[in-house]
């Protein structure tokens, strides 16, 4: 949910953000069994664990050459 409604967003106010959240939930409920949605759900926890490890001293970020 964070990926679809909050990440890289620039909502004017809380009402606009709430509308985006509700629109996502309507879409998500209509497409709950779609294989791509299920695959994304399986990948998200791993991405969050990876992100947390990077933030708190797990793996160092790759440096650009």
| Length reported for the chain | 65
Residue 62 maps to a domain: no
Residue 63 maps to a domain: no
Residue 32 maps to a domain: yes
Residue 61 maps to a domain: no
Residues whose CB is less than 8 angstroms from the CB of residue 25 and which lie 6 or more positions away in sequence, other chains included: 1
Residue 64 maps to a domain: no
The model's pLDDT over 29-42, given as tens digits with 9 standing for 90+, comes to 887 777 887 788 78
pLDDT over 80 at 13, yes or no: yes
Tell me the C-alpha distance between 65 and 3, whole Å. Answer: 29
Residue 25 maps to a domain: yes
pLDDT over 80 at 27, yes or no: yes
Domain count, the chain: 1
pLDDT over 60 at 56, yes or no: no
Tell me the C-alpha distance between 40 and 28, whole Å. Answer: 12
Rounded to two decimals, the pTM is 0.44
Residue 65 maps to a domain: no
Find which of 13-22, 30-39, 53-62 is predicted with most confidence, using mean pLDDT: 13-22
């Amino acid at each position: 949910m964070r990926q679809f409604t909050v990440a890289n967003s620039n909502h004017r106010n809380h009402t606009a953000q709430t509308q985006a959240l509700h629109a996502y939930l309507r879409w998500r409920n209509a497409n709950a069994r779609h294989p791509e949605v299920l695959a994304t759900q399986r990948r998200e926890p791993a991405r969050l664990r990876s992100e947390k490890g990077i933030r708190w001293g797990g793996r160092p970020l790759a440096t650009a050459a």
